[in-house]
């Protein structure tokens, strides 16, 4: 049955380089955008939704979200002894919460026992309502490495190749590797500046992924870990806390993208005790806030493509607002959360913008986010693939 909806009389932000349309409409039919702009007329069978005083924009894209919330499940230590079925319910719950916030695509860079792939299958088969899920299965880490509780341990190029092939066999959309320690420590002595998987190990994963026409992203905080990941040929860097100006220039030259997760580190530093996180996490995060800001500035100066990611402890709206503290306009920050984040999550993506014959992943908010990005929290309507999943 054909479903046609007209979102009428709104400010429309397409996510492209166009100026916003002050009084425009978006026509949706069969899950796709069919017309955008002023003067769009509704067919006789269309459901017309008056969006006066509201803004229509592409659904937001979170490029780094494990869908475990700020709970004991999210700490990645392996100490939470629950059956996989329980973990799946937790992931499904947080996926729905993302959708209610206007996040219509979630990239999951690693999940315990590849739970993300199981939940995605349930979504694809219509058993769950959730954002589009782009999944890595289990992240690949060294023995005892960062994220070992939610990843698969592998040592040496041969084991890393086999681990990558195992994730692809399960249906992974991309592969995640751990190039360094992290702020969310999982073992005594872990430090975000310490390298973990080496160049040869990560290069083996990259070779497997490229053969399958997939890409590899690297958790990489310290300078050496970032350098190893870049030399191995990864497509994206997660966090990049100690990224140097020279490394940023190299990334820009080779079109390696960045998901900085700025609000994640701020929240771990400032709100970790409130959330019951390990004290070591907050101590480390507090110590890297300034250098992390410097590293993201290096990326901006070099022209690196970047996108939004929350990593459980961040917040999508806070992340977008954080971008503007570097002098970016609200429009440019919104593009990082829609068009550019989509390109990072799935190279060649057709979502992330409002354009003819593109997927109708749509967020409608009260007010004008270009005047105040906090309006992004005032969700009036969410649509995914043309399906209304939240109204009011």
Cα angle value 249/253/254 (rounded, 5°): 120
pLDDT at 74 over 90: no
pLDDT in tens, 235-262: 999 999 999 999 999 999 999 999 999 9
The span from the CA of 68 to the CA of 65, in Å, is 8
Report the pLDDT averaged over residues 361-388.
97
pLDDT in tens, 332-353: 999 999 999 999 999 999 999 9
pLDDT in tens, 94-151: 999 999 999 999 999 999 999 999 999 999 999 999 999 999 999 999 999 999 888 9
Residues 6+ apart with CB under 8 A from 132: 104, 105, 106, 351, 361, 384, 385
What is the pLDDT, as a whole number, of residue 209?
98
Report the pLDDT averaged over residues 59-64.
98
pLDDT in tens, 141-183: 999 999 988 899 999 999 999 999 999 999 999 999 999 999 9
Q: Which two tokens stand for residue 17?
A: 């380089």
Average pLDDT, the chain: 95
Residue 239 φ/ψ region, left for φ over 0, alpha for ψ in the -120 to 50 degree band, beta for the rest: left
The span from the CA of 328 to the CA of 319, in Å, is 12
What is the pLDDT, as a whole number, of residue 188?
85
What domains appear along the chain, each with residue ranges and CATH number?
A: 4-58+353-391 (2.30.40.10), 60-345 (3.20.20.140)
Pairing, β 54-58 against β 4-12: parallel
What is the pLDDT, as a whole number, of residue 392?
79
SS3 state at 237: strand
> 189, 291, 297: which is closest to 248 by C-alpha?
297
Q: What pTM, to 2 d.p., does this model score?
A: 0.96
pLDDT at 319 over 50: yes
C-alpha distances in Å from residue 177, one per residue of 32, 70, 198, 336, 366: 34, 23, 10, 23, 39
pLDDT level of residue 1 (50, 70, 90 thresholds)? very low
35 CB-side CA count, 13 A: 16
Residue 136 · residue 108 · CB < 8 Å:
yes
What is the pLDDT, as a whole number, of residue 300?
98
What is the pLDDT, as a whole number, of residue 155?
98
Give the CA-trace dihedral at 200, 206, 207, 212, to 10 degrees: 160
């Amino acid at each position: 049955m054909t479903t046609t909806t007209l979102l009428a009389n709104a400010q429309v932000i397409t996510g492209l380089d166009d100026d916003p349309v002050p009084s425009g409409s978006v026509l949706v039919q069969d899950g796709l955008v069919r017309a955008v702009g002023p003067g769009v007329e509704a067919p006789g069978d269309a459901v017309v939704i008056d969006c006066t005083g509201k803004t229509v924009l592409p659904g937001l894209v979170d490029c780094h979200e494990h869908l475990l919330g700020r709970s004991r499940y999210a700490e990645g230590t392996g100490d939470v002894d629950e059956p996989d079925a329980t973990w799946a319910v937790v992931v499904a719950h947080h996926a729905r919460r993302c959708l209610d916030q206007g996040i219509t695509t979630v990239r999951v860079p690693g999940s315990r026992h590849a739970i993300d792939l199981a939940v995605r299958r349930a979504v694809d088969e219509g058993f769950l309502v959730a954002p589009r899920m782009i999944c890595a299965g289990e992240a690949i880490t060294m023995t005892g490495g960062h994220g070992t509780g939610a990843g698969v341990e592998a040592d040496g190029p041969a084991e890393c190749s086999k681990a990558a092939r195992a994730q692809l066999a399960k249906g992974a959309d991309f592969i995640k590797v751990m190039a360094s320690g992290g702020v969310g420590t999982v073992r005594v002595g872990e430090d975000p500046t310490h390298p973990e998987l080496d160049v040869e190990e990560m290069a083996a994963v990259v070779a497997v992924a490229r053969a399958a026409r997939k890409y590899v992203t690297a958790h990489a905080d310290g300078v050496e870990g970032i350098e190893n990941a870049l030399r191995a040929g990864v497509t994206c860097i997660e966090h990049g806390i100690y990224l140097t100006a020279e490394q940023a220039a190299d990334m820009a030259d080779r079109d390696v993208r960045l998901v900085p997760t700025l609000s994640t580190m701020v929240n771990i530093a400032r709100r970790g005790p409130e959330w019951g996180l390990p004290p070591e996490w907050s101590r480390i995060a507090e110590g890297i806030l300034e250098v992390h800001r410097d590293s993201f500035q290096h990326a901006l100066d070099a022209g690196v493509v970047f996108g939004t990611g929350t990593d459980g402890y961040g917040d999508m709206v806070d992340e977008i607002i954080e971008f503007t503290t570097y002098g970016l306009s609200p429009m440019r920050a919104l593009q990082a959360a829609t068009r550019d984040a989509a390109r990072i999550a799935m190279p060649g993506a057709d979502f992330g913008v409002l354009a003819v014959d593109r997927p109708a992943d749509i967020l409608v908010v009260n007010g004008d986010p270009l005047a105040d990005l906090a309006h992004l929290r005032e969700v009036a309507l969410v649509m995914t693939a043309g399906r209304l999943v939240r109204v009011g």
